[in-house]
Structures are given as structure tokens and as C-alpha cells.
Structure 1
Amino acid sequence: MVELAFLHKFRTKSTSMKIKFPHLFVLVFTVAGTYAQQFEKTKNLQKFNGFFDHYYDGNTDKMYLSVTDLEKDFLYVYSLSSGIGSNDIGLDRGQLGNEQVVFFKKAGNQLLLVQPNLKFRALTENELERKSVEQAFAKSVLHGFKIEEETNNGYLIDITDFLMRDAHGVSDRLMATGQGSYSLDKSKSAFAMERTKAFPKNIEFDVLLTFKGKPKGAYIRSVTPNPSLVTVAQHHSFIELPDSGYQKRVFDPRSGSYPFSYYDYSTPVQEPILKRFITRHRLEKKNPNAAVSEAVEPIVYYLDNGTPEPVRSALLEGGQWWNQAFEAIGYKDAFQIKMLPDDADPMDVRYNVIQWVHRSTRGWSYGSSITDPRTGEIMKGHVSLGSLRIRQDFLIAQALMDKPFKDRDDNHEAMLDLAIARIRQLSAHEIGHTLGFAHNFAASTNNRASVMDYPHPQFRIKRGEIDFSDAYATGIGDWDKVTVAYSYTDFPDGTNEREGLNAILKKAQDDGLRYISDQDARPMGGAHALGHLWDNGASASTELNDVLKVREKAISNFSVDNIRSNEPYAVLEDVFAPLYFFHRYQTEAVAKLIGGLDYNYAIKGDGQKTVSIVEMNTQKRALASILNTLDAARMAIPEDKLELFPPRAIGYGQSRESIKGKTGVSFDALSAPETAADMTLGLLLHPERASRLIQQKAVQRNNLGLGEVLDELIDKTIKKTEQNTYLQEVQHNINFRVLFHLMNLAAHTKVHPQVNAIAHQKLEELKITLRQNPDMISKEMLRRIDRFMEHPELFEVIATPKIPDGSPIGMACFN
């Protein structure tokens, strides 16, 4: 019965009654189909009555389509209904492909499937003007179909080849990721009839495809029983486009929504030709003038019925948080989450779906959508949640707890609670993307104001112990209510919508809420003072100091009781890895303050700050904080912990998430801090940051300049000595990384010349210092500097052992 129901996107106020009588409606539709003129070729074939009638020939495994309306737009979507299972390859179960508006056009003895060019339009009543734009830009013919039979009612075409092709680009993806050259083997491919279905507003085809080839990569070998034959299922949907009742809403860069755009060539010359709107679901109040009203059709999401407990309950609870935001704008029960019926197909466009996706390694979760390319209306939200990521949060908790398995091996409640708390937030986050919302990476500075941030678990030292009670926030955030209000407020009749939208954003601004998204939050070369990934706290440097204290305490507590009885010590090393690098994301945040900027997505007249340089004291505190991550006394693994990490046991080899080294089978206590230091230095001495420091010093003479940063760095590393021989060797490894990154700035071709000059000067000064300490290490540094000076153009930074996989520590998104 649920399969026969239409989602809100296919209904208007005038048609919503159909859902009350699903069996009656389908009966009428089916009877009508039986009176349609039959094709001779299809008399003995299995018939599917639907949006397009189609016929299956089981003897030849062919599919025929009846086309009655030519040059009538509909939506075509391809996707993967079963995937490969490798995060690195990136072909997941449930992965959506591109949606395309298409139509059938007759040309001689064939029908062409044509994709019009919707990027360039003329929205005018002038037919000739519309045609002039249509003819000015290329369109795409996706396929040509020979007409098998023609009647008064339409055309019959064979669509087998169109459906049984690599629409999703599996072979291209395997090639691009270095897994080998593969081609489609049609002799080992067939229609999956159990997932091929017809409905009045959409038809769904599923095809089992086998790719044959010569495997080259380890990823494909790790996830296939026979890597020479890779079988997946691809899905094709033909969908009726929504009616004209949807109202587009203007995009504002301050709103937190995703933009949807096209060029309208009918625009008057004095106005912008590029039109920008937001993507959103269709949502209307039954009574738009009421303070609180039910929706004409609520937004309903369905959770994958293959999701296990306790994850199932956590995803339902976290996703339902969004209803708080819809209630705040006067909707009653406008956002709902239910379990997907057992007989429903998650690829069916009528269902907004949250899928629980399995892979061989942990990886990204993401929220995707099928949208109407004409308007930006979201027709289907589709969330894919990686099942292994909850285990990573569990592992982080296991590493930070003090002797959790000392007395019993089932003492996992606190670890599971933390992991489940993260999953609740993950559910809300990814659903947010499918509602039309972008990341807000400045929300962590406003008391965790948005589920659209990337949350790092928040721990504190209380009464001498690590406190887990506030690791993750619960509930929808203040910023999330702003984005919902902007995208989904149903304004009363007579309201000026643009004024109403500006009022929503002005209130958010007055409340001190900040919004910074992806392009300004990435760590390498990033400059925004507040927009960071996986960070916490209003002050990034204060938080890094706190994170280092938590890390130090957890390492001090770390023991064999962080694993269960009968587990090999190799497992203990794997638990230790995320603890050792626990500071990595907050380090990214602090690095961005140095040579950093504070700015907004300001528009004329809104009164927001446009851009300013991060003030001197904030930058100096950041530099002092980040240099702590280059201090051997902090970064060396305590000597008494090294006996916990013997050579790995048989059957428990290293993985990509293990700490790498240069000492063969033995645990490398020097490479771990070297790898950590390289991460810090790659951020701190990023070429773009170095160039910004030149400009910053020119504009604000009392602020930090590149020379001062390099002087402080050298003083705290290369010029530093340790009495303890172990700590001194750790510091030596860190110091060589400093030297290599300094040389990199001296030789880099994509920086201001002043950067090269200052870095060269510091190398010359360093040579004088090193000559005063003619020990073995100083001589080696001198030798490397001299060799660099002879041929700086040949220099490349020597790689360190690779840092273990980090992101996503508990979640992230692909958009």
C-alpha cells in the first residue's frame, strides 16, 4: 500500500485526495491501460502499466517501451542500486547519478532521446525569442531508438541497449582510481526484474551489469570475489516532472542554502542575466495565514529497514530533530521520519531515503538529492551513511577511557553511548544536505549552533579525569532554524517575500550567528579565523591547548586494559593511533589564524564586516599554541608505553589506519612525532599562508610577518636541546622536518619573491648557528643546506611516513 502512495512532490492541493484511495486510483489507471491499442510485437510479453507502458520479453531479455507523447519533458535519472563496497573507488550502493530533463523526438524511422540545454534559457512569452536562445546553444541526443512498431496511439521502441549500458560510468571510475581497464560484458548482464516496476508517475528499471577486465589496483581486489569480473546493479528511472505549482526562492549567500542557477537571456540589460535560486522541497501550509498549520504534504523520510539497532533508533531520533526547526516557523508535523516498508525500493523516486551503506573501509557519508533541473525543486532526498564510522567513534572513546576493560570485557556502555550520540548528529547533518542546506563551519564558535558543522568530540579534564558527558551536542541548532526559516517559511498573503527573508537573516546577524561554508574552511591554505573542520570552541588556540591536555592525560592512562582479554597487542596499537593524532584537527584550525582573515558573505547594505586581518595578539597566541605540537616533550610517546607495541602478531598486520614507520617490524617511536610534525608544518608554512604574511606585514606593520614566524619556529625547534637522549632524537626528527619545509619556501615558484628571499635569509642565518654547534646532526643539516643552495630547483620535500587515515573521524559529506 505504501508503494502506491505519492510523495509530496507529485501532489498539489487539488490532487492530494488521491492518496486516500490508492487501490481505487490504480484500478482506474490499470483498466484504462487495458483499453489502449496493443502492439503486435508485445502480445505475449509481460506488460507493465505505468508512467510509460513497457514490455519485457523473458526469452530474449529485452525491454520495449511505448511512447505516446513526443516532445514532452520528463526526468531521467540513473543510479547504482548495488555497489562495489570500496570508499576509495567511490561506487556505493544507493549512489545517485545525474538527473536530466529529456524528451522523445521523432526523426525518420527512429525516436531520439533529447536532453535540452537548461543552463541557457529565455523565460518570455515571445516564442521566437525562446527559440533563438534554444538554437544558440548545443543540446545532447542521449540515444537513438529504432521504431519497432507504430500505431495510432504511439510508438514501440527497444530500450534494452539504452538500459543495459554503463550509464553510471563504473568502468571510467575503475580506470580513474587505478584499478584497471574494464568493459561491459553483456553476456554476463541481465535485467533484474524483481526491482523493475511501474507506477503512474514513475517507472523503475534495474539491470545487473558485469564488467570484465584486468585488475591492477588493490582496492578492487579487496572487495570482489573475482576482481576480473565485477558485477554491480544500475538503476534507471523515468519520472513525471512536478507541476508548475512550485515557487522558486531567491538565493542569498548568507542563507546557508545551496544555489541553483541558470542564465535567462530575456532579462533586461540593466539586470543580471545569471539567476540564482535555492534548492528546497515543496512545502506549503494548509493555512498560510495561521501561526501554526499542518503542511499540505509533509516532508517524509524513510529509514533503510536493514539498519540494525541501536543505530536505527539513533538515526530516527537525530533525523527527527529537524522538526524542531519546522515547528519554529509555524509548521505542525511538517517533517517526519518513518521506516521504509519491506517491499519498497530505496531507489524509487517517491521515497526520501536514509540508507545504511556498507564498505570495506570507513569513509564518507553524504546527502544527495534528485532535483527538478528547471526549478531546483528537490524531488527526492537520498542519504548514504557509512556503517563503519560509528566504529571509529567507538574506537576514539575506547582510546580515551581509563582502563575500560580492566575488570570486565563487556564494559562498553560509555563507548557505545558516545558513538550513538555521534550517529544521531550524523543523521541530522546528512538529512540537512538533502533539505538543501550547506555546511556551516563557523557554528562551533557559537556554542555548536548547527548540525551542519563537522563536530569533533568535546572532552574536558574534570577532577583530574577525562569527562565524556558533553562529547556531542543534541538537538537542532540556532543556525539550523535560520536556514529552515529562510528556505521554508510560508509567508502570509500580502507579504513582501524578499523583505521577509532579509528580516530572517538580519535577526541571525544581530544574534551573533556566523555562517562560513566549505570553500573557506579547508585547512591547506585556508585563512578564515572561524571556519574550521572538526574544531571546537570560540578560541581555536585555547581549545588546542585543552586538546593537548586531554591527549596527554589519555596517553598517560593508556594501558593493556584499553583492549579486551585475549586480544593481541597489535589491536592495542590500532586503538592508540587515533589517540596519538587526537590533536590533528584542532591544529588545522589554529594554523588558519596565522596570516588569517575574518570575513562574511556580506551584501551591500547589510552592515556586516566585509574583511579584516586577524589581530596581532590572536595570531601570536595561535603561533605559541601550534608550536607546542612541535615540542618533543609533548609529542614523544612516553618510554614506558613503548613496551605496549611489540611487532605485530600473525593475522593482525598493519592497515591504512596504523602508525607507519621506518624500522621494519618494530614500532617506530621516532616516526610518529615526525609524521605529526610534518602535518603541522605543512599547515603553518603553507606557501599561500607565507605570501599572506608578507601582505599582512605590509598593511599592519605591528602584526606578525613571515620573518617573525620563522624566527619563533626555529627558536622552538632547531635551536632547542633536550637532556634526555630519547627526547633529543625525537626533536632531531622534528627539526629536519622544519628544515625541509623552510627549504620548500625558499625554492617555491608560486609564492611572492619576498617569501623566497626571507626563507633564504633564514637558511643563511641557520648555517651560522649550526657551525657553532659542530655535532653530527648540525653537520648533516649544514650539508643538506649547502646541497640545496647549489640546486634549489631540484628540491623536493622528503616524504614522511603517511599519517593514518583521519577524516572522516566520525562523519563528513560528499556534495
Structure 2
Amino acid sequence: MKAQLHWQAAVLVMAVAAVSACAQTPVRQDTAPVAPVAAATPPASAASRPAPDPAAPKPFAEVIRGASRSDGLFPVWRKDEKVWLEVPKAMIGKPFLFTANIANSVGERGLYASQMGLSRMAEVRVIGRQFQLLALNTQFRAVSDQGSKRAIDQAFSPSLLGSGPVLSLEHPERGSVLVDAGFLLSDIPGYSTRLEMAYRLPFGVDRANSSFERVRADAKLSALTARIHFATPRIPAPPITPGAPGANPPTATPDPRSLFVDYVYSFLALPEAPMAPRNADPRLGHFAESFTDLGGDAKANPRTHYVKRWRLDKKDPAAAISEPVTPIVFWLDKNIPTRYRPTVQEGILEWNKAFERIGFKNAIVVKQQPDDADWDNMDAGHASIRWFVGADVGFAIGPSHADPRTGEILDADIGMSDVFARGSRRQFVDDVGRRSMPAADAAYFCEDAHLSAQESDFALELLEARDEIAPDSAAAEAFVLGAIKGTIMHEVGHVLGLKHNFRGSTTVTAAQLQDRTYTEANGISNSVMEYVPVNIAAKGEKQASYHRQALGPYDYWAIEYAYKPIAAGRESEELGKIAARSTEPQLAYGDDADAGGVAGADGMDPLSSRFDLGDNPLAWYRKRLQLSKELWARVQERPPVATDDPLRLRRSLMAGFGPLATVAELAAKYVGGMHTERDLPGPNARPAFRPVDPAKQREALQFLATGLFSADSFRFKPQVLSSVTVDYNEWERGGPADITTAAVRVQLAALDRLLSPGTANRLLDLPAYVPPAKRKNLISLNEVYETLQRAIWSELSTSADIDRIRRNLQREHIRRLQAMLTRGAPGMPADALSLLRFNATKLEAQLRSAVAKGGRSVESRAHLAESLGTLDEALRAKMQRS
């Protein structure tokens, strides 16, 4: 899962502006304290008596006359549309957890219901007549040195989340005061920024049409659901210039100028006795509460990382296995279809096996929200599994909210879209095609379910084409349930505190992947926290489990580190022993940064990758291309049926392209790749970085050259392509199947990786990591550039005509050369630019010779002449340096 909702950090600084802009209640700037009632004095004349202050606080009982009270951490009073918070004197200046989750949303472009949002340690301050809700700064702390703590408090500011006037005098018995809860009818989570990113329109809060929908409170919690109306005054006209950037209005709302978003605000008490924190270890992966400890200057690295975990204590500490004092309870959302509830529960409870190994029985409990329940499990009092739908949705997410002081997880809400069932099955039974989620939106979520559904689309198409699974059969249902269980196990792992493990699949051999007994007991990876493709057998292989069905060795190990009860005073020693097992082959681990695709990391280790399978990923990539070819061959032989959906053929052909772009990029990771290890310093530590075997790098280049760069991999019968129809019920119906564009999209994933600055830098640095005696067989950057250029332009050494797919690939190669030769590339080393120019000069000579020869089709001759002209201009152009 990518970091939980990246947008929160970007918009936090907007919270103050959002609150002040949306607040409608007049706020006095006078912050003088309320004067006490004075002793009796002689009556003054009417002329000398001061006029009453209309903004002065009124008696408590007068403010809430006729209102109903919900007891809670902050009691909530409600009368008609008015809502007040009662602020107990004991809660002023006392930290608590303030969260804002998204219960209802728009249903497209990453703006979905059932999503966790803002989480801050907060406190309430009352300054005279003014109430303030402050987010406390937990990024900088002094764990022990109180002198440092005072300096830190002076150095780093809190943030204002909301404010308003104090409306009442103190309660005569409780000493509490009342504040208008209307300050919550604003954009505290900063959702307007998300709306602007999705639609490029300035949506703002319309306070007059925002309201409170429901209230829930108990001794440790107060939760209010606010329905916030966002509006934009007008939709601008499209830009006059075609292709120019412009607004992209909502399509899932009746009127694109208006939409509602429900925030579930929770005020949650922090534990009175903080849980003992547990330090994270980089040799295995847990989400962490991270901060800078400035309490003294003796630490070499002030950054501190506490494992995020639930509090589990045995009822009977002396027993080998005991139930916990407080189990982890997951509530199943009432929106989960009845037919899937048992499978969802099964996926959750699978984790109890890991807790049993460390002495806990029934550590996790599952409860079902009643179908007639009138409470929302998005509040901070329920950990839940939420089911939601959307116009273009295809993902699941497993975030959590934790006590910033210790890392103790207090709440979690797994968002589970219907991609598991509808997303996979609708391709299978020829329902409407899926609109894919834009990549910019997908970046906010764990992509496991979205990409797993893409894999399922392909697998089900192939299994149907093989006549191995029939649509709507029991086997098809079992396949879908398997996908649901695997993804639920993955997301529950996240809310238990586990990060992704993208190296896990490399611990399983090809033979084990064909052994059903093995895969049912051990899974198809060493961890359910891996992104894995469907384990579909090639022709001649045995079919084992399709999906993740069991926890792997890494999962047991990670749970042991986070949750094993350890006696006080022995934790450092015991945790060190657990983490030291990282060298065991079955516990291989690599996270998102190792796999690449996140800021500052392009993923240098080809063994840490998303959606590879087996201990020889290159063999899997070759197999995956062959499976796509098999699907295309079978679909082209399938006779048309009168009852078929007209779009079935188009979707079947395109299903084979979906995951191939991932295969192309991952194969290219081998070139210039470096294997990484997380060992701590010591006499037996393995090298932190080790170059990929040159033979493997050359094998990857050969696969790309002869497989994915070859037009022969994407051949289709003319009579089939001419039968690919469009959806005549939609205005944007498109045209014929664009196989050429689909193919070049796959090829560019590899081309861009091979020409990237990261690949160039590592290839240039390879000799520095290898002893002089072993440098003879190293692969060089020039060898890569020469091999790539020779593969892409192989027709220049013959008189063969150039296929359109190949012309497109060659054209994209020329465009990249032109850009780097004339403008450079950020991070590209000077030696790489020199080698690109050196090889481009040779290509120019080859193109000139090919143009002079002639003999090809007019399209090929025109393409060669254009390529020569473009390259000639680039080589002679003056470099535009920044």
C-alpha cells in the first residue's frame, strides 16, 4: 500500500485557511476572560447602565434549552439543525486523537466512499471567549530530556484545525462550557484540494447547505457525521486550442457544479496508560510512527521509529496460549453482499494462525454489523471492513489510525471495492467494460486489488478460452472467492501493521507453484503482503492454487516481531534474535522503495518487484508473454456466438495486453540492476549492494529484443480485427481495435527504463563494485545502448520492409534520442549523454545508407527519411542547458 493517502500531508497547511474561510459564526477578537459576577451594588440609572454585550456567553441551561444530550468524551447536544459540543474542564489541554474519515463521496477518480482520512493528536484550548482545536506537533519530541522538550515546544508550532466562540458560561456543577459544533462544517481534511486535482475546478464549501447527519458518543468517543456541500459557481468553457489544459468536470454527479461529501469526525480518548512502544527494525517491514527525537545530542541518528501495532495482552500471562484481554475486533460492513461475507471473514481470521504461534488464542474477532444498524462504522470506535462501489473503481486499502505517542493502533477501516466480484466477473460474463482508474488517482491507494483484478480479467479470459472454467459456474465462483480472500488477507495484514513485501514471491520454485498440496498449505509467495499475479499454468504444466490462500513464513515472522509478549528489560535482546533470522532464504523481504515507483527510488533490485512469480522472474516474464499469445490465438479461433455481447472480442484481445507493460518494465530492471540486502553491520553481513549477474542482464536484454520488441509477438488475423466492434450506445465509442498503440505502450515501459538516468548511473558504476580480476565479463552502458539500438533498428541491416508496430517503436526511440541530445535529461550522467551521441551518430550513418538504398514500401521509405532528418537535426543542434 502506498503511503496512506498521500494528499493529507500536502493539504494540512490549508486547514487553517479552510476553517477560517468557511466559518460563518461571528468570532470576537477580544480574548479577555469572562468576568466573574460582582457583588451587589447600588442600582445605576438607565442612562448610565452599559448596553448588554450580545456576544457574551449565556447561562449553560439557556443555550441548550430543549436540546437532547449524547454522553461522550465531549458530550454532544442537538436541537433541530443546531449542534453543540460540551467541553469538559478536564479535557482542556488534554491530548486526544482527532480523525476525519470519508463516509460518502463522489464515486470516481479516486474520490470514493469508505476511506480513512485525517488523523492528528489534538487538544482543546479555551482562551477567554474563544475555543480552539489544535493539532499538536508530534514530528519533533524529547523522549526523556524535559529541558529539550521546552526548547522543542518553542521551536515547532502546532496547527489550528478549527475555532469558534465559547457560547455559554460554565456549567454550575460540571464546570464545562458549550461551543457551536458548526466549526466542523468546513473543510478540515482539505478535501477541496483532492477535488481540484481530480477536476481542475475550484470547489469550495457551501456552509449554508452543509449539515450534521448523525451523532454517536460513548465514554471514550464523540463522533459527528457532517454532510459537506462543495460547489463551484460555474463550469468554464473548454479551451479554444485543442489539447490545451482545461477543466475536467465531474461525470458521476447529476450537476457537475454541486456535490456532497460526508466527513465522520471523531474525538477519541487516548489510552490513559500509554502502551510500551516497540522499535522498528529495517530487516523486516512494519509501518511505523516516526519522529525526530531531539532529547539530547548523544544519538547518532535522532530519527526514531515505533512499530504500529494493536495492544495485545494475555488474560493469563503464565499460560502458553491465552485469549487476549482485549481482542482486535473487525466489523463487517452491512453493505458487503451476503454471499461474500463468509469469505471475507475467512480472510480476516486466517491471521489468527500467526497469533496462535506466539501464544494468543482468538486474537482477532469478527462481528457483523446488523443490516438495520443506524450507526456508521467509519467512526473511530469500530475497526471495519467497508464495501463500496464507484464508476471507475478498482482497489482496496488498509489504513489505520494510531496513538502518535507509542504507535498503538486504535482504529482501522479497510476499504473494499466491488472490483473483487464485479470487476473480475463482469469481463467474464460479458458485462459492460471497466473504465480504468487514472494513474494519478491510483497513486493514493494500495494497488493490490486494482492490479489483481486486471490479472483476474486475463486469467478468466484464458481459462474460458481453454474451456476449463465456464461463465457463472461453481468453478468461476470459487475463482472469485479466492481473489477476495487473498486481497482481504493482504489488507488485513496492512492494518495489523505490516508493509508490502515485494521480494516474497522469489522464495517459491516453479515446481512448487505447480504443486497444489504445497500452495494450499504455504501459498504462492512467502507472504500475502506481496503483489502476485494469478498462478495460471502454461500448457503442459499442473495447475495448483490460483491465488494467495495461506499465510507465508514471512507473515508469521513479522507478526512475531510486532506482537510477541516479551518481558520488560529483555525486549532489545529478544527482538534482536527475531530480526537476525532475516538471512534465512524463506524470509526474504523488500518493500515499496526496493521495488521502485515511489519518490526517490526507481527500484534497482529485480528480485523486489510487483507482480512477478517464482524464484526465476525472467522465466515467469517469458511465460507470461506466451500466455498472452495463447489467449490471442484461442480467441481468434473462437467462433462467434449470436448471444455474445458485441464488446466481448475487444475485451478479450485487450486483456492480453494489460499486465504485459508491467512485465516489460520488470524485465528491464535486470539491466543495470543491483541486488540489495538489509543486513546490519557485522563479520557475517552480506554486501548491501551486489550487481546483478551479467549473464542475467544480457538474458533480459535478449528477451526484450526478441520478444516484446518484436512485431511478431502482436500478430492478429485481419478477419478478427475487422470483427472488433464498438459500443454504439455510447457517444465516445472509439474506432477499430488499436493494437499498434497497445503494443507500443508495452514496449515503451521497457524502453524508458533502459534509457533512464538510474540505469545509466548504475551501469557506469558497476566496475567500482567488482574486484579488478572479475571485471572482464561485466556488461557496460555502451553494450546496452548498442544492443538496444541494434534490436530496435534491426531492419537497417537487411532490405526487409518495416512493420507499423516497429515503425512506431523506432519513432519513439528517435524522439527520446532527440530530447536527450538537445535538452539533456535530469539526473542523466554526462558519460551517458556522450555514449548516446556516439551511438546516434552510427545510427545516422545507417539511416543514410538505408534511405539511399530504397527498395522498401513508401511508408517505410518516408519513415526512414523522417527519422534521418530528425536525428540529423538533433545531432547538429545546440544543447539547451538549464
Task: Determine if the TM-score, normalized by the shorter chain, exceeds 0.5.
Answer: yes
Q: Is the 8 A contact 1:746 1:755 kept in 2?
A: no
1:724 Cα deviation from its structure 2 partner = 12
Superposed counterparts of 1:353-372, under 5 Å? 353-372=384-403
Partner of 1:285: 314
1:516 counterpart SS class: coil
Q: Is the 8 A contact 1:482 1:508 kept in 2?
A: no
Structure 1 residues 645 and 536 mapped into 2: Cα distance closer, same or farther (>3 Å)? farther
One-letter identity of the residue aligned with 2:191 = V
Partner of 1:497: 571
CA distance in 2, matches of 1:514, 1:508: 7
* Mapped pair 1:785 → 2:785: no
1:84 Cα deviation from its structure 2 partner = 1.2
CA distance in 2, matches of 1:80, 1:540: 39
CA distance in 2, matches of 1:432, 1:486: 14
Q: Is the 8 A contact 1:525 1:686 kept in 2?
A: no
Match of 1:319 among 333, 342, 348: 348
* Mapped pair 1:616 → 2:694: yes
1:624 counterpart SS class: helix
One-letter identity of the residue aligned with 2:292 = Y
One-letter identity of the residue aligned with 2:744 = E
One-letter identity of the residue aligned with 2:164 = F
Match of 2:483 among 422, 425, 428: 422
Partner of 1:749: 825
Out of 775-784 and 346-355, give the one that drifted further. Answer: 775-784
Partner of 2:183: 162
Deviations 1:15-61 (A, max 9, x none): xxxxxxxxxxxxxxxxxxxxxx9623213112112222221121x53
**Unmatched 5+ residue regions in structure 1?**
1-36, 656-663, 796-815
Q: Is the 8 A contact 1:94 1:346 kept in 2?
A: no
Structure 1 residues 740 and 268 mapped into 2: Cα distance closer, same or farther (>3 Å)? closer
Structure 1 residues 125 and 668 mapped into 2: Cα distance closer, same or farther (>3 Å)? closer
Match of 1:328 among 354, 357, 360: 357
Out of 345-354 and 437-446, give the one that drifted further. Answer: 345-354
Superposed counterparts of 1:644-793, under 5 Å? 645-651=723-729, 665-697=735-767, 700-720=775-795, 728-747=803-822, 748-750=824-826, 751-774=828-851, 775=854, 776=861, 777-791=863-877, 793=879
CA distance in 1, matches of 2:575, 2:309: 15
One-letter identity of the residue aligned with 2:460 = Q
2:278 counterpart SS class: coil
Structure 1 residues 644 and 218 mapped into 2: Cα distance closer, same or farther (>3 Å)? farther
Match of 1:72 among 74, 78, 94: 94
Deviations 1:89-144 (A, max 9, x none): x3321222222222222312223323332222233485x55433322321223333
Match of 2:720 among 613, 619, 642: 642
One-letter identity of the residue aligned with 2:282 = P
Superposed counterparts of 1:394-473, under 5 Å? 394-403=456-465, 410=471, 412-447=473-508, 448-463=525-540, 469-473=544-548
CA distance in 1, matches of 2:542, 2:248: 39
CA distance in 1, matches of 2:400, 2:641: 42
Q: Is the 8 A contact 1:179 1:215 kept in 2?
A: no
Match of 1:221 among 223, 231, 250: 250
CA distance in 1, matches of 2:818, 2:260: 49
Partner of 2:76: 54
1:352 Cα deviation from its structure 2 partner = 1.0
Partner of 1:92: 112
One-letter identity of the residue aligned with 2:95 = D
Structure 1 residues 253 and 38 mapped into 2: Cα distance closer, same or farther (>3 Å)? same
Superposed counterparts of 1:515-554, under 5 Å? 515-522=589-596, 525-554=602-631
**Unmatched 5+ residue regions in structure 2?**
1-58, 237-245, 425-452, 509-524, 770-774, 855-860
Structure 1 residues 649 and 71 mapped into 2: Cα distance closer, same or farther (>3 Å)? closer
CA distance in 2, matches of 1:139, 1:57: 33
1:96 counterpart SS class: strand
One-letter identity of the residue aligned with 2:503 = A
1:454 Cα deviation from its structure 2 partner = 0.7
1:443 Cα deviation from its structure 2 partner = 0.4
1:594 Cα deviation from its structure 2 partner = 0.7
Structure 1 residues 507 and 764 mapped into 2: Cα distance closer, same or farther (>3 Å)? same
Deviations 1:715-741 (A, max 9, x none): 223123799989733322222233333
Q: Is the 8 A contact 1:559 1:644 kept in 2?
A: no
Q: Is the 8 A contact 2:309 2:408 kept in 1?
A: yes
1:277 Cα deviation from its structure 2 partner = 1.3
Partner of 1:584: 661
Superposed counterparts of 1:363-382, under 5 Å? 363-382=394-413
Structure 1 residues 349 and 612 mapped into 2: Cα distance closer, same or farther (>3 Å)? same
1:522 Cα deviation from its structure 2 partner = 2.1
Partner of 1:196: 215
Out of 527-536 and 504-513, give the one that drifted further. Answer: 504-513
2:587 counterpart SS class: coil
Structure 1 residues 411 and 263 mapped into 2: Cα distance closer, same or farther (>3 Å)? closer
CA distance in 1, matches of 2:565, 2:141: 28
One-letter identity of the residue aligned with 1:791 = A
Partner of 2:150: 131
1:478 Cα deviation from its structure 2 partner = 0.8
2:188 counterpart SS class: coil
1:462 counterpart SS class: coil
CA distance in 2, matches of 1:271, 1:760: 45
CA distance in 2, matches of 1:741, 1:487: 47
CA distance in 2, matches of 1:468, 1:413: 17
1:367 Cα deviation from its structure 2 partner = 0.9
* Mapped pair 1:566 → 2:628: no
CA distance in 1, matches of 2:154, 2:639: 68
One-letter identity of the residue aligned with 1:204 = A
One-letter identity of the residue aligned with 1:400 = L
1:670 Cα deviation from its structure 2 partner = 2.9
1:755 counterpart SS class: helix
CA distance in 1, matches of 2:678, 2:639: 46
Structure 1 residues 639 and 270 mapped into 2: Cα distance closer, same or farther (>3 Å)? closer
Question: What is the TM-score of this pair, normalised by structure 2?
Answer: 0.79
Structure 1 residues 715 and 121 mapped into 2: Cα distance closer, same or farther (>3 Å)? closer
Deviations 1:134-185 (A, max 9, x none): 2232122333332221234224333333111112222222122334112222
Structure 1 residues 176 and 404 mapped into 2: Cα distance closer, same or farther (>3 Å)? same
Q: Is the 8 A contact 2:161 2:188 kept in 1?
A: no
Q: Is the 8 A contact 2:355 2:363 kept in 1?
A: yes
Structure 1 residues 122 and 778 mapped into 2: Cα distance closer, same or farther (>3 Å)? closer
Match of 1:232 among 243, 250, 261: 261
Q: Is the 8 A contact 1:357 1:385 kept in 2?
A: yes
Match of 2:202 among 172, 181, 189: 181
CA distance in 2, matches of 1:634, 1:330: 57
1:256 counterpart SS class: coil
1:490 Cα deviation from its structure 2 partner = 0.6
CA distance in 1, matches of 2:726, 2:202: 35
* Mapped pair 1:513 → 2:513: no
One-letter identity of the residue aligned with 1:341 = P
Out of 417-426 and 529-538, give the one that drifted further. Answer: 417-426
One-letter identity of the residue aligned with 2:589 = Y
1:640 Cα deviation from its structure 2 partner = 4.8
CA distance in 2, matches of 1:483, 1:202: 31
Partner of 1:42: 64
Structure 1 residues 134 and 460 mapped into 2: Cα distance closer, same or farther (>3 Å)? same
Q: Is the 8 A contact 1:207 1:234 kept in 2?
A: yes
Partner of 2:46: none
Q: Is the 8 A contact 1:528 1:593 kept in 2?
A: yes
